[in-house]
Structure 1
Amino acid sequence: MKWDWLHFVPALLHFIEFIPFYLMPTQEKIEYLRYAFSHVEILSKQQEGFLPANFHPFLKTFTGIVYEFFQSLILFSVYKKERIWVRKNKVVWNWLVRLTFFHSLTYLFVFASYVLFFSKVDMRVYSVLPLGFTQFFCTINLIFNPRILYGMKEIKDEVLVSESTELPIMINRKVLSFVKTQNYKKTLDRYLEHEKPYLQKKYSIRDLSADCNIPVHYLSIVINDQYGCNYSDFINRYRIQFIIENRYSEFGRSLSLEGLASEAGFNSKNSFYTAFKKNVGCTPSEYFARQIE
């Protein structure tokens, strides 16, 4: 991601701050560490690097609050844009919301303690509180709700794309470059023109995806953006064109209009009449009556 490098900044600043310690003679470092391990209670009161004593626990807590703030923003954004994913992954979603809320509450409590009781408490106690409470929270949740560990469900194609509705906004069209879109469109046009798969009844978008070797979600984006319709309307256009072209051929004359519609891939008379009127603007009878005139 574009801004992932920012996660490295705290570690880099921490490294720079401790340069004085790194430059100390080896024997002096050893003595300092021995003293620190034998007098743990005074560690938080000693100056660490360039920063004053007691400042590190405060800084770590403040960093935690910043992370929780942005994590909350991400969750809010996902909830607004990925409603289908949220519904399909309720267990994981609820876990993420609860964990973020619990983290935020703990960090805010610790931060408030620093501000209100800075000189009266051992900062080391408060610095380990977020970690300790988080471990406790995670353990309790996993014991009583182990389904959290089962992972997230993928949004299946039928959820991503409905054959009878417009393409959901949640799909990001930027994932397809112009060149890739045009290549997919050419593949699609060529296959439909030569193979005529739309003549099969119940020919689904998944069938077309497999036949053209185009991922379903990409195929949906191409159909929606390049042809201005959903899959159902798209495939019905080809069926109606087939009926129009063959109505007065030797093959078409041997069948009733409904029979020809069935050969074109329509499942029923109603679906044929509805699709024909939607695409042509009138009923099949009216259209062909005009052609005879």
Structure 2
Amino acid sequence: MYINCKGRLLSLSSPKVMGILNCTPDSFFDGGKYRNEAELLTQAEKMLAEGATFIDVGAYSSKPNAEFVTEEQELQRAVPVVELLVKHFPDVLISIDTFRAKVAEATINAGAAVVNDIAAGLLDENMIATVGKLKVPYIMMHMRGTPQTMVKLTQYDDIVQEMLLYFSQRIAEARRHGVDDIIMDPGFGFAKTLGQNYEVMNKLELFKTAGLPLLSGISRKSMLYKLLGNTPQEALNGTTALNMVSLMKGAKILRVHDVKEAVETVRIYEAMTAN
């Protein structure tokens, strides 16, 4: 499996780690933590040194009931961060976490390499056509509704089958618009109950039937800390456990807050599966 990032073919035969860099004041784990350029650069440098292949920049918190952010606010937050990272780390592969086509286009033009869309094009009718025009890899996630409404949209007859249908429809739409490189994200924590998240994780290998790379993003999420009775700050051990499960079930990208631990998990997984 290869994806084309800024004219460079990147192999996903060895799983990769995506480090999360939130430039939002209300992210569930690190909101407001990086308040200036120096702090953003320090964190990005740390993640790259620890082995991150991608830096995922988000300027709109997608946690349940997140505060609405206007398109202009998102642009004002995201574009300068992308420009800053590209200036200091010219070879960095940045994914932009947005569901808005204008934000995707502006940040790709500023130097980002991948679009990471929590809504798979369903919250902006121009998104998929824009990605097709930009010719960049597209991460499409499963979600229902919006971050403000998704907690009420957890009724499924068969969650995995309905998710597979969702992805088949979104993939067909992306192909229709010339999107070549597609990565599937099951969307842990999005329009799913605690039990549903674990059902999807248990059956994660079924999503490989689409023949596309899988991204697993469970870092410090409520499916961990609510189950374990702790907090996001205490959920690193649970994150590592499910990162290993994700790899064993076929995930090719781990999206995480803690890069060092995720890279170590990949190394252990690869040692286990080397022969």
Normalised by the length of structure 2, the TM-score is 0.22
Please say which structure displays the higher CA radius of gyration.
Answer: 1
Which structure ranks higher in relative contact order (CA pairs < 8 Å, sequence separation ≥ 6)? 2
In terms of fraction of residues, the more helix-rich structure is 1
In terms of fraction of residues, the more strand-rich structure is 2
Normalised by the length of structure 1, the TM-score is 0.21
